[in-house]
């Protein structure tokens, strides 16, 4: 009993150290690096794109760091479910940059920056806390052959329509200059409404499923089809996220390969590492390419655009979804959608779209209340997604959900759901086969030895997303203490 008490005390001490020292230190490091790279590199190099810097109020900086650190306490400690991964990735690539950069983007007053931190941070924390309660599963899994045929039909339709309109290509020669190609694709896609949805579903959901099955089952064919599919879609449409997805898959595969629950704070340290490595690579090559491709794109842009959206729509009429689902019932004050409106306000360019995260889009439509509404829609979606993924292996699901998560850092929640594949993600996870379909052929149905032979007792790591009947986090802790005392 004394040993058990010591173990419990040690666990509590470890939690306190992580909550009050380790995670705030990770947030502080990210804040310092974001501040430096924006002040010294990004703002001086890209003022024409709306990146600005002004010396911040130090007290306001301290407040934003404190708020961002407080949000991490509400986020799940371990990535046990798809929503856990999504919340942490979204925090690192959208919420934290938006909060931490607000004091020095020059777009917001002190009061606006403080309100941004409190509202965006509060909504993120509320969503995370609301998802701690588990519910019943929601799966209608197809037989493996039927699911494979479904993927094949979707893929054939997507590539067939793309070939007939835009044409297929595999030219990776210039990753920095794809805007003309993207404009050509947008023109072609405007003639066939379903093409855009199919392309994003293929890139963000179907190809990741193929890659995930290839890695999990150690099968070269689906892996190759998925990777080549991403390259073809990038070369044919010009969307850089489709080629960056391959790097994202590699990172997730490495993090999850150990088959032990991953801690969310890993992504905080990873974001800081991304800034440092990109800066070192640019210093060695005497260029700004890596900082532009990675730090600016995935961290600075979401933070800058959140401030810009709030600044613009605080002084101008809100969109009120008049460009979207409410176009028939509200008066829309603009001739184009909010991303184009903000881009012209920032840069003076009419052919550019400044796509911001779901919270910035929420503000563009309904102000601070819109931010809260965007969080509410995200909460409902994640609640259903967790139930659709019940019983699926951790690694494949993590690979499948990572790109739709990153999409949320540069699009509205409704656009992400109905154009960029979030609804398709939910449906395909709900229909995906469980069990052997994700395992290597040589390891299928080999958990038991010859009939009648005694098998040694082995401890196997939990590799599937837990369902409602599985043990909760507190139950896992009790079981870990009991196992340690045996």
- pLDDT tens track of the chain, all 486 residues? 455 555 556 556 655 666 677 888 999 999 999 999 999 999 999 999 999 999 999 999 999 999 999 999 999 988 889 999 999 999 999 999 999 999 999 999 999 999 999 999 999 999 999 998 776 778 788 999 999 999 999 999 999 999 988 888 787 655 556 666 777 777 777 777 788 889 999 999 999 999 999 998 899 999 999 999 999 998 888 888 888 888 888 888 888 776 566 788 889 999 999 999 999 999 999 988 999 989 999 999 999 999 999 999 999 999 999 998 998 999 999 999 999 999 999 999 988 889 999 999 999 999 999 999 999 999 999 999 999 999 898 889 999 999 888 888 889 999 999 888 899 999 999 999 988 888 887 655 433 233 333 334 444 444 555 544 443 443 443 343 333 333
pLDDT of residue 79: 87
DSSP of 88-115, one letter per residue? HHHIIIIIHHHHHHGGGSSSS-HHHHHH
Residue 85: beta bridge partners?
A: none
Q: In terms of DSSP H, where are the helices of 316-357?
A: 338-347
Structure-token pair, residue 455: 């098998």
Structure-token pair, residue 372: 């809260």
Structure-token pair, residue 481: 């203490």
pLDDT of residue 11: 53
- The full set of domain ranges for the chain reads 28-138+256-395
CB 379 within 8 A of CB 131: yes
Tell me how crowded residue 479 is: count the other CB atoms within 10 A of its CB.
11
Cα separation, 64 vs 363, in Å, equals 19
Q: What does the pLDDT look like over 287-305, one tens digit per residue?
A: 889 999 899 999 999 999 9
pLDDT of residue 2: 52
pLDDT of residue 457: 40
Cα separation, 263 vs 76, in Å, equals 8
Nearest 5°: CA angle at 309, between 308 and 315? 95
Q: Is 167 left (phi over 0), alpha (psi -120 to 50) or beta?
A: left
DSSP of 55-95, one letter per residue? PPPHHHHHHHHHHHHHHHHHS-SB--SHHHHHHHHHIIIII
Q: What does the pLDDT look like over 69-100, one tens digit per residue?
A: 999 999 998 888 999 999 999 999 999 999 99
Structure-token pair, residue 283: 């210093």
pLDDT of residue 14: 58
Q: What does the pLDDT look like over 37-75, one tens digit per residue?
A: 999 999 999 999 999 999 999 999 999 999 999 999 999
Taking CA atoms, 186 is separated from 17, 71, 102, 169, 238, in Å, by: 50, 38, 32, 16, 10
Cα separation, 445 vs 450, in Å, equals 12
Residue 393: beta bridge partners?
A: 464
Cα separation, 479 vs 485, in Å, equals 10
Taking CA atoms, 254 is separated from 178, 204, 258, 259, in Å, by: 30, 19, 8, 10
Q: pTM of this prediction? A: 0.85
Residue 304: closest CA among 28, 38, 121: 38
pLDDT of residue 25: 92
Structure-token pair, residue 176: 């920095």
Taking CA atoms, 222 is separated from 211, 217, 226, 228, in Å, by: 6, 9, 6, 10
């Amino acid at each position: 009993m004394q040993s058990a008490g010591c173990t419990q005390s040690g666990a509590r001490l470890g939690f306190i150290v992580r909550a009050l020292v380790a995670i705030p230190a990770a947030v502080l490091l990210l804040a310092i690096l974001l501040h430096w790279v924006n002040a010294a590199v990004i703002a001086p190099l890209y003022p024409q794109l709306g990146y600005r810097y002004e010396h911040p109020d130090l007290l306001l900086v301290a407040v934003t760091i404190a708020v961002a650190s407080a949000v991490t306490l509400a986020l799940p400690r371990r990535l046990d479910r798809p929503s856990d991964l999504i919340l942490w990735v979204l925090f690192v690539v959208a919420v934290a940059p938006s909060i931490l950069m607000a004091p020095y983007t020059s777009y917001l007053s002190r009061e606006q920056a403080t309100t941004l931190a409190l509202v965006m941070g509060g909504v993120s924390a509320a969503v995370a806390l609301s998802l701690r309660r588990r519910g019943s599963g929601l799966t209608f899994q197809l037989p493996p052959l039927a699911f494979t045929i479904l993927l094949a039909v979707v893929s054939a339709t997507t590539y067939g329509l793309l070939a007939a309109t835009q044409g297929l290509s595999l030219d990776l020669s210039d990753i920095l200059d794809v805007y003309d190609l993207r404009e050509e694709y947008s023109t072609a896609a405007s003639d066939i409404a379903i093409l855009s949805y199919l392309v994003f579903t293929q890139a963000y959901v179907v190809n990741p499923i193929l890659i995930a099955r290839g890695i999990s089952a150690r099968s070269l064919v689906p892996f190759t089809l998925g990777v080549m599919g991403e390259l073809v879609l990038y070369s044919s449409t010009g969307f850089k996220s489709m080629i960056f997805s391959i790097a994202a898959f590699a990172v997730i595969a490495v993090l999850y390969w150990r088959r032990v629950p991953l801690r969310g704070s890993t992504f905080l340290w990873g974001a800081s590492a991304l800034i440092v490595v990109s800066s070192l690579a640019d210093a060695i090559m005497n260029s700004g390419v890596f900082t532009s491709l990675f730090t600016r794109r995935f961290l600075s842009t979401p933070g800058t655009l959140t401030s810009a959206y709030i600044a613009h729509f605080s002084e101008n009429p809100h969109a009120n979804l008049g460009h979207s689902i409410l176009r028939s019932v509200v008066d829309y004050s603009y001739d184009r959608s909010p991303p184009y409106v903000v881009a012209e306000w920032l840069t003076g360019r009419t052919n550019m779209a400044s796509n911001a995260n779901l919270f910035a889009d929420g503000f563009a439509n309904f102000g601070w209340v819109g931010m809260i509404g965007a969080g509410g829609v995200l909460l409902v979606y994640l609640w259903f997604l967790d139930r659709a993924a019940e019983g699926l292996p951790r690694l494949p699901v993590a690979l499948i959900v990572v790109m739709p998560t990153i999409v949320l850092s540069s699009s509205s929640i409704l656009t992400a759901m109905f154009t960029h594949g979030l609804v398709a993600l939910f449906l395909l996870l709900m229909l995906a086969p469980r069990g052997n379909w994700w395992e290597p052929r040589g390891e299928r149905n080999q958990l038991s030895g010859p009939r009648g032979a005694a098998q040694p007792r082995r401890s196997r790591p939990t590799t599937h997303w837990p369902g409602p009947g599985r043990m909760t986090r507190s139950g896992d802790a009790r079981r870990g203490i009991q196992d340690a005392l045996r």
